[in-house]
Every structure is written in C-alpha cells, then in structure tokens.
Amino acid sequence: MWASDGKNETTQIFHFYTQFFIDFWWTPEYPTTDDTVHFYSLTEGADDFRWEFGDGTNVTGVNETTHQYLLAGYYNVTLWTYNATNDVWGYLTKTIRIDRNITLLTPKEGEAGYNWVAWQGNNTNASELSEVLNLSKGYWIHYYNSSSDKWEGYFVGYNAGTNFNIDNWDATVIVVNKNITRRLNVTDIYNYSTRNRTFVKGGYDIISWSSHHIKNASELPTDSGEWVYKYDVINNTWKAYLKGVGGDDFKVRPYDVIVTFLNNSRWWNIMTNGG
C-alpha cells in the first residue's frame, strides 16, 4: 500500500502471515543535519524490531531509537517487526526528509571568519548562493578555479568580483563577521545526489567530504609522505596531518572541506567506505 499526506510518502508492505499492524513515527517531524531524530514504533503485538535508516546503518532489538543523519536528502526508513519465534514478520517503509543547516562562524564577533563550505545541491553561482544563504552586504564568497590556478571572489551586495559558477560538491570559502546559521530546504534547492567516488589530483587539491562516514585524517587513503589539511575557523589556523609521521589527527566530517597534497592522482571511494 502506498500513501502520501503531501509531505511524506509511505510504502507499507505486510507479509501474508503478519498478525500485527505496523506503524512508526519520528520527532522532530522535519529534522535537519543538526538534529538527533527519535524514532518510535507504534506497532502492537510485535516482540522484536529492526530499524534500517536508509544511510547504510541499522539497529536491532528496540522499539524506539535515535539516529542522526549527517548529509541532507531523502532517506527510506524501514521498520521490520517479528514475533518471538521470527515466523511472523512484516515491514513498513517511510521516507524522511533531512534539511541541511549551514553554520558560518567567526573567531569572535566582528572578526573575519573564513568558512570552507561544501555545496551540495543544484548547480548555482556566487550571487544566487548569497541569496540562498541570505548573506549580508559586504560579505565575500571565494572559489578556487583549478583551470586557471587562481582564486576568484564575489563581493556580496556590490555586484563586484566574479559571479563564478558553483557545481554540486564544489567547495567555497565564505567570509563573514558574525556567526549565522541558515536552514536549506532539500525540496527547494537540492537536486540531491551523492558521490560514490571522487578524483583527487596529485599535488594540492581541494576536496568536499561527501561521505556519511566520519574519519580521522590518519584513516584517509593517503600514502606515506602525503599531507591532509583542514582549516580551523575558530582558532584561525590550519590543522595538518602527514601520513607516516603524524600531526593533527583531526576528524573529517560530512560537508567538511579538506586540502590534500598527494604524490600522484587517484580515485577515492567516498560513499562506500569513506575513503
């Protein structure tokens, strides 16, 4: 059975021998990547449960649980229910929408904060991005053009600089002088897509981390003598890790932007195992 309330789509499928009605819900109803989502089974008569969250993770044995989605998009959540002997079972799938919160920071109020932001969504340009994020006049958006090997900049509100294009999973640097958070509605701005892998060039390259997985810098598929960097906007400094030697073994989280320095070019499997 398929149903829709105009906001969420539901697919409900029962095994022929199912003797209990399956249902579940979650709060908050419209979560973001910052939220912990609470899932509740409304099923009566079931003895065992399995939750599949649609991002490759699952949990078993509980009728309610929590989960955080680290990337925005639509996810099919499935609740499997069983009787005590597992010979009576059924499942229900619902689609949950996860919006994205983008938080732009400064070292302190009034100082320039250089935020490396991974863009996930429809192809856009600098002026459109400034409108989507409702950036104030006088802020800057920067983009590294690998073809020309130069940085380009757009001065918000002054129609100055380069109104460069921004594609899905491109990285930008947004400069602000106060902390702001913007919620990006998946339905409005996302042509939601993921990347199974990305090509990382030899020498310096800028990578948007599009994986659901959180990794330490030491876990990335670099070889001995290769560098990984990440900018710390609060402390206004770079963190750096050199494979085989050490350094700041920082966390690389979904939507982080990292800079690599590799001895040679290669493909990284991003979504399958986080590198």
Q: Give the list of residues 6+ apart from residue 68 with CB closer than 8 angstroms, or none.
A: 33, 35, 36, 37
Strand order in the sheet with 203-208: 203-208, 257-262, 227-232, 237-242, 246-247
CA distances from 218 to 133, 181, 221 (A): 33, 30, 8
Burial zone of 153 (CB within 10 Å; 0-12 exposed, 13-18 middle, 19+ buried): middle
Q: Which CATH number fits domain 2-98: 3.40.190.170, 2.40.160.40, 2.60.40.10, 1.10.10.10?
A: 2.60.40.10
What average pLDDT does this structure show over 128-140? 95
Q: Confidence class of residue 96 from pLDDT cuts 50, 70 and 90?
A: very high
Residue 190 has pLDDT above 90, yes or no: no
Residue 5 has pLDDT above 60, yes or no: no
Q: Give the list of residues 6+ apart from residue 164 with CB closer than 8 angstroms, or none.
A: 125, 126, 143, 145, 152, 154
**Residue of 250 and 146 predicted with greater confidence:** 250
**Residue of 253 and 211 predicted with greater confidence:** 253
Task: Name the segment(s) of the chain with CATH classification 2.60.40.10.
Answer: 2-98
Question: How far is residue 179's CA from residue 125's CA, in Å, rounded to a whole number?
Answer: 23
Helix, strand and coil content of the chain, in percent to the nearest 5, comes to 5, 45, 45
Residue 168 has pLDDT above 60, yes or no: yes
| Cα 113–chain centre separation | 21
Q: Give the side-chain half-sphere CA count within 13 A for 145.
A: 11
| pLDDT per position as a tens digit, 215-241 | 999 999 999 999 999 999 999 999 999
Question: Contact 74/106 with Cβ under 8 angstroms?
Answer: no
Q: Confidence class of residue 6 from pLDDT cuts 50, 70 and 90?
A: very low
Give me the phi and psi of 170, to 5 degrees please.
Answer: -70, 155
**Residue of 239 and 210 predicted with greater confidence:** 239
Question: How far is residue 34's CA from residue 100's CA, in Å, rounded to a whole number?
Answer: 8
